[in-house]
Structure 1
Amino acid sequence: MKYDRDEYVKQPSPIGEELKLLFGGAAQLVFFEIGACEGEDSIKYSRMFPQATIYAFEPLPGNMSIIRRNLEKYGITNVIPQPFALSDAPGDAEFFVSSSTRQPANENWDFGNKSSSLLQPDKHLELVDFIEFTDRIKVKLSTIADFCLRHNLSSVDFIHMDVQGAELRVLKGAGEFLRSVKAIWLEVSKIHLYKDQPLAGEIYSYMTANGFVLVKDETDAVTGDHLYVNATYVDPAIFPQPPVVRNTFLSLLRGKIRSLLFSHRK
């Protein structure tokens, strides 16, 4: 399979049906994509919910430039790029920048720019050894709570989070605003890909302690994604019991990364 940005944007979201159940009839919505990378998922959500306002947070200048180009390319007007990271406190922080010099030359896809983190890499260096972390930059930080206060947002309907091990920091930075969020789709890990990274079980404990219910589990032995809904606003009974469901495109993508890894080890 050829990996291509245009093809990815066309693929349905792995939680598309759940989002329709949650927000299908809503007139106005606020979405956050935290760790937006190149903005493709924000574009998907924009197409699904053209009435939504989507804030796309991405601290890497190179990725932010790609986001802006992609929004123009696809004619997206309801995604608002935010060129900084979210964490548990405002300020500045060192950011570990991922890259790869071993890119397939015939694919319109960057495997190297999707692993940057506020945390120092750990097992990631062993499991995906064609991804390098040779650069560090200083990035601006805000929090969900501060951003909502500055933009007069009383609540956030949906958060998509892919922050490479900094999930708990971002969640804690929401403060009391966390209880106003309707649903959160976030990446989790079962091993320490990054140093001091909270694992999937710790994320689960934090989410359930704050009134959220896990309604979809799309993880493998190492990593994957969880969908949580806020039981205060959503009856979890409308969802089936959380199965392990693997989106075909994402599974193939992870398989591609592993095949690249093993081929480079030969």
Structure 2
Amino acid sequence: MKYQTLIKQIFIVGKSKWFLYFLRGKIFSFSSFEIVTNLKRTVPNLDYIIDVGANSGQFSKVASFHFPNAIMHVFEPLPNLYPKIEKMFKGKENITTHNLALGNESGTIKFNQNEFGHISSVLNISTDNVHYPKGNGLSQIDVEIKTLDSLSLFDEMEKGTSLLKLDVQGYELEVLKGGEKTLNNLDYILIEANLEQLYVNQPTFTQVNNYLNSKGFELSDMLDFNLGAKNKYIEIDLLYKKVQG
């Protein structure tokens, strides 16, 4: 384990109730616990949650604990990770899982499946990226892709408080462009913003921020961060709030 990751985990344990939940048999990932706990302080109630880029379901697991009555849709395209999510939420009538990617098109798309699932992406890892492990079993697979708008998930979202969470490794802007109608009904967007060019053709933070501003969302809070080589901040989890219709 990299020492900067250990430092971060000690920090989370020290400032949160993670250890108390651990003692009670609630096993949550450090990062997801930090994100959702901070989210809960800012947004005490959520009725609708869309989790795009769920990985192994870490975020959704904590979200379903803190927001047990929320209707959730959970998306993960990787065939080796999706069964874990499906099993995790089996029998949960308010949670629906989807084995597909989201973007600005419908059909199939080439997806870079990495041994480290959390850095898998439609985009290729940049050759200048010094923060991710090298030589890690990479393969390219075909996955189904749809637009958020084509799914019409929550036509009733205006009746409650809604959140879109995006963690799609540099592909966030494409997901947003494919969900412009859905954005009209959203109250919050939680997005993992990249501070460095980690992927080829990855939009900059400024581009993503400007797009969200143009859709009526403004930065509300920072919920978490990820450290890279030499303790450099490379990713931050940001919460945006709808401020205009």
**Normalising by the residue count of structure 1, what TM-score does the alignment of the two structures yield?**
0.71
In the TM superposition, residue 13 of structure 1 has moved relative to its aligned partner by 4.0
The answer (yes or no) to whether the contact 2:32–2:58 under 8 Å persists in 1 is no
In the TM superposition, residue 42 of structure 1 has moved relative to its aligned partner by 0.7
Unaligned runs of 5+ in 2: 1-5, 10-21, 226-231
Identity %: 23
Aligned ranges 1:94-243 → 2 under 5 Å: 94-99=110-115, 112-123=116-127, 126-130=130-134, 132=136, 134-148=138-152, 151=153, 153-155=155-157, 157-217=162-222, 218-219=224-225, 221-232=233-244
Q: How many Å separate the matches in 1 of 2:96 and 2:128? A: 31
Q: How many Å separate the matches in 1 of 2:64 and 2:118? A: 21
* Equivalent residue number for residue 14 of structure 1: 35
Q: How many Å separate the matches in 2 of 1:180 and 1:113? A: 30
In the TM superposition, residue 133 of structure 1 has moved relative to its aligned partner by 5.5
Distance 1:193 1:133, change over 3 A: farther
Q: How many Å separate the matches in 2 of 1:132 and 1:124? A: 16
Distance 1:205 1:115, change over 3 A: same
* Equivalent residue number for residue 107 of structure 2: 91
The answer (yes or no) to whether the contact 1:37–1:113 under 8 Å persists in 2 is yes
Distance 1:153 1:6, change over 3 A: same
In the TM superposition, residue 12 of structure 1 has moved relative to its aligned partner by 3.4
Distance 1:9 1:79, change over 3 A: farther
Amino acid at match of 1:122: S
Distance 1:22 1:6, change over 3 A: closer
In the TM superposition, residue 40 of structure 1 has moved relative to its aligned partner by 1.7
* Equivalent residue number for residue 245 of structure 1: none
The answer (yes or no) to whether the contact 2:103–2:174 under 8 Å persists in 1 is yes
* 1:45 corresponds to 2:63: yes
The answer (yes or no) to whether the contact 1:46–1:76 under 8 Å persists in 2 is no
1:211-232 CA distance string (max 9 Å, x none):
1110113456322211101013
Let me know the Cα RMSD of the aligned residues.
2.8
Q: How many Å separate the matches in 2 of 1:131 and 1:23? A: 42
Q: How many Å separate the matches in 1 of 2:127 and 2:236? A: 16
The answer (yes or no) to whether the contact 1:9–1:41 under 8 Å persists in 2 is no
* Equivalent residue number for residue 259 of structure 1: none
Distance 1:145 1:23, change over 3 A: farther
Amino acid at match of 1:192: Q
Q: How many Å separate the matches in 1 of 2:32 and 2:75? A: 22
The answer (yes or no) to whether the contact 1:214–1:227 under 8 Å persists in 2 is yes
The answer (yes or no) to whether the contact 2:173–2:208 under 8 Å persists in 1 is yes
Q: How many Å separate the matches in 2 of 1:10 and 1:200? A: 21
Q: Secondary structure of 1:89's match?
A: coil
Q: How many Å separate the matches in 1 of 2:39 and 2:59? A: 15
Q: How many Å separate the matches in 1 of 2:170 and 2:95? A: 25
Q: Secondary structure of 1:122's match?
A: coil
In the TM superposition, residue 202 of structure 1 has moved relative to its aligned partner by 1.0
Distance 1:133 1:147, change over 3 A: farther
The answer (yes or no) to whether the contact 1:46–1:78 under 8 Å persists in 2 is no
* Equivalent residue number for residue 108 of structure 1: none
Unaligned runs of 5+ in 1: 100-111, 234-266
Q: Secondary structure of 1:170's match?
A: helix
Q: Secondary structure of 2:149's match?
A: helix
Q: How many Å separate the matches in 1 of 2:35 and 2:135? A: 25
Distance 1:17 1:165, change over 3 A: closer
Q: Secondary structure of 2:43's match?
A: helix
